[in-house]
């Protein structure tokens, strides 16, 4: 029995064992599954973490800002660049309307962009976002986000900060445009001022001779009436005594002695007008005709006479001049140059207690020269480079056209000579003119 029991026992035993084995096998399998699953999860976790850090590093490296909003423009998500730019954490931004990020004109433009995005693309819109340290200009691109039914569910805004360089470039561009405009205005103003100075100068110059021509003609008109009256009496066969009386009462002797100087003065005035007109013409055209020999000293004396006669103050003139000095060219033009130099010197000494001019001239093998030195204030260093510029003058309107030296320079240059102005070591200005010597007349003696 015991043996049978034993037998039965062993059979029962083996059935139980089998059950255990299968349970253990199942457990093993389950465990193996679990391990495999665990490994898989860990692998997936790693991949996810890697993807996360990859995405994070990409995001961190992005200098462009990224803002995701809902369809009404309320912020849902921003990237780190945006947090850094605004100095605000995502948590304080979520739910805010996007336009709250800007102010003023930029705010209006952003609202407009968010409106337009429903119908068109918005690209490169320049908008200032309120940054941590003041407004930051961004070039914004906006893209709409649609759901599977094609309804607008949100907006993605990408913004590129306009770098310092770009900003500087924009500012430079603007400054350049402004400068160009200012320069054009300046040139225009200068032209008008030059024209004004020229017209004022010419008007002043012409006024003087014209007014004395006018005055002389008035006198001549009065005198003519008296002469007509006298000749009528002669014609009527009046007696000698009657004629004498009328002649006396009309003061005809004075009339007759005045006639010459009246006519002469009138001619002189007309000449002066013609000279001024010629000066102007010379300025606009350089007529070139044959050059002829002439005496520079004669030209100097006549110019000096003209200026000293007109001068308001008495000027002491020292001359160290040879008897004659043969030069070659257009004596009329050189006369104009010399008049100009002496006139400038006379103008310069006008307010001196003892106005003085010194004229000297001479010749070398190559050229003849003339120097005009005055005891005026001289030329300020900053003006020296501009003396020969047309319209450069330091004289009040009506007294200077600023054309004298520039015209003179042109004339002298055309003659193959030189004209320089500097300050004399002893004070005052020194003008020096040189002209090519006239060889032929030298040979002729």
**Interacting residues with Mg ion (CB under 5 A):** 344, 404
331/326 Cα distance (integer angstroms): 11
405 part of the interface to ligand ADP, by CB under 6 A: yes
Minimum distance from residue 298 beta carbon to Mg ion (Å): 22
Minimum distance from residue 177 beta carbon to ligand ADP (Å): 35
When binding is defined by CB under 6 A, the residue of 345, 359, 435, 437 that contacts ligand ADP is 345
220/18 Cα distance (integer angstroms): 161
Give the binding range for ligand ADP (CB under 6 A) out of 99-107, 206-214, 243-251, 343-351: 343-351
400 part of the interface to ligand ADP, by CB under 6 A: yes
Contact 105, 82 (CB under 8 A): no
* Residue listed under structure tokens 């240059």: 413
Paired with 159 in beta bridges are: 65, 140
Q: Give 48's DSSP letter.
A: H
Closer to Mg ion by CB, 325 or 407: give it. 407
Q: Give 422's DSSP letter.
A: E
Closer to ligand ADP by CB, 355 or 400: give it. 400
Minimum distance from residue 412 beta carbon to ligand ADP (Å): 13
390/407 Cα distance (integer angstroms): 8
Give the binding range for ligand ADP (CB under 6 A) out of 109-117, 122-130, 227-235, 378-386: 378-386
310/312 Cα distance (integer angstroms): 7
96/271 Cα distance (integer angstroms): 88
By CB under 6 A, how many residues form the interface with ligand ADP? 21
Count CB-CB contacts under 10 A for residue 197.
19
- CA angle at 36 for the pair 35 and 41, rounded to the nearest 5°: 95
387 part of the interface to ligand ADP, by CB under 6 A: yes
Give the binding range for ligand ADP (CB under 6 A) out of 156-164, 203-211, 325-333, 370-378: 370-378
| Nearest residue (beta carbon) to Mg ion | 404
Give the binding range for ligand ADP (CB under 6 A) out of 58-66, 178-186, 228-236, 337-345: 337-345
Closer to Mg ion by CB, 81 or 387: give it. 387
419 part of the interface to ligand ADP, by CB under 6 A: no
**Element at 35 (helix H, strand E):** helix 2-61
When binding is defined by CB under 6 A, the residue of 88, 395, 424, 432 that contacts ligand ADP is 395
Minimum distance from residue 392 beta carbon to ligand ADP (Å): 5
Closer to Mg ion by CB, 68 or 200: give it. 200
Structure tokens at 184: 């054009």
When binding is defined by CB under 6 A, the residue of 209, 402, 410, 417 that contacts ligand ADP is 402
Minimum distance from residue 405 beta carbon to Mg ion (Å): 6
Closer to Mg ion by CB, 79 or 344: give it. 344
387 contact, one of ligand ADP, Mg ion, none, CB 5-8 Å limit per kind: ligand ADP
401 part of the interface to ligand ADP, by CB under 6 A: yes
Minimum distance from residue 309 beta carbon to ligand ADP (Å): 18
Closer to ligand ADP by CB, 157 or 387: give it. 387
**3-state secondary structure at position 146:** strand
257/102 Cα distance (integer angstroms): 94
Sheet holding 367-374, edge to edge: 316-320, 356-363, 367-374, 429-436, 418-423
When binding is defined by CB under 6 A, the residue of 142, 296, 392, 415 that contacts ligand ADP is 392
Contact 425, 379 (CB under 8 A): no
Closer to ligand ADP by CB, 117 or 370: give it. 370
Sheet holding 134-146, edge to edge: 75-78, 65-70, 152-161, 134-146, 122-131
Contact 114, 73 (CB under 8 A): yes
385/387 Cα distance (integer angstroms): 6
* Number of alpha carbons in the 13 Å side-chain half-sphere of residue 304: 20
* Residues that bind ligand ADP in the complex, under the rule CB under 6 A: 340, 344-345, 348, 374, 376, 378-379, 383, 387, 392-395, 400-402, 404-406, 429
């Amino acid at each position: 029995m015991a043996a049978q029991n034993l037998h039965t026992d062993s059979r029962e035993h083996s059935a139980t064992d089998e059950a255990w084995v299968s349970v253990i096998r199942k457990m093993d399998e389950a465990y193996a599954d679990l391990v495999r699953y665990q490994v898989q999860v860990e692998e997936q976790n790693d991949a996810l973490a890697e993807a996360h850090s990859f995405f994070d590093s990409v995001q961190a490296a992005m200098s462009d800002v990224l803002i995701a909003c809902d369809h009404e423009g309320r912020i849902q998500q921003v990237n780190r660049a945006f947090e850094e730019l605004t100095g605000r954490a995502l948590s304080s931004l979520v739910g805010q309307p996007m336009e709250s990020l800007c102010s003023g004109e930029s705010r209006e433009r952003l609202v407009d962009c968010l409106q337009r995005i429903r119908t068109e693309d918005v690209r490169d819109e320049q908008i200032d976002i309120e940054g941590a340290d003041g407004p930051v200009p961004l070039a914004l691109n906006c893209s709409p986000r649609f759901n599977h039914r094609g309804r607008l569910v949100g907006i993605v805004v990408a913004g590129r900060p306009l770098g310092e360089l770009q900003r500087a470039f924009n500012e430079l561009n603007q400054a350049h445009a402004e400068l160009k405009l200012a320069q054009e205005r300046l040139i225009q103003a200068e032209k008008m001022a030059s024209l004004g100075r020229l017209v004022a100068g010419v008007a002043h110059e012409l006024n003087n001779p014209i007014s004395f021509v006018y005055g002389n003609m008035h006198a001549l008109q009065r005198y003519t009436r008296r002469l007509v009256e006298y000749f009528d009496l002669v014609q009527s066969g009046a007696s000698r005594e009657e004629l004498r009386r009328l002649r006396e009462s009309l003061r005809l002797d004075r009339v007759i002695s005045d006639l010459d100087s009246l006519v002469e003065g009138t001619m002189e005035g007309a000449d002066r007008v013609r000279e001024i007109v010629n000066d102007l013409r010379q300025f606009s055209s350089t007529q070139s005709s044959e050059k002829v020999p002439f005496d520079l000293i004669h030209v100097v004396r006549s110019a000096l006479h003209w200026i000293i006669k007109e001068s308001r103050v008495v000027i002491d003139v020292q001359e160290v001049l040879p008897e004659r000095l043969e030069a070659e060219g257009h004596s009329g033009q050189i006369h104009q140059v010399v008049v100009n130099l002496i006139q400038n010197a006379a103008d310069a000494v006008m307010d001196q207690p003892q106005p003085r001019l010194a004229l000297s001239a001479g010749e070398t093998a190559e050229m003849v020269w003339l120097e005009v030195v005055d005891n005026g204030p001289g030329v300020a260093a900053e003006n020296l480079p501009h003396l020969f510029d047309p319209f450069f003058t330091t004289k009040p309107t009506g007294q200077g056209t600023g054309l004298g030296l520039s015209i003179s320079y042109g004339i002298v240059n055309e003659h193959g000579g030189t004209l320089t102005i500097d300050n004399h070591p002893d004070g005052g200005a020194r003008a020096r003119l040189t002209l090519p010597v006239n060889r032929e007349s030298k040979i002729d003696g």
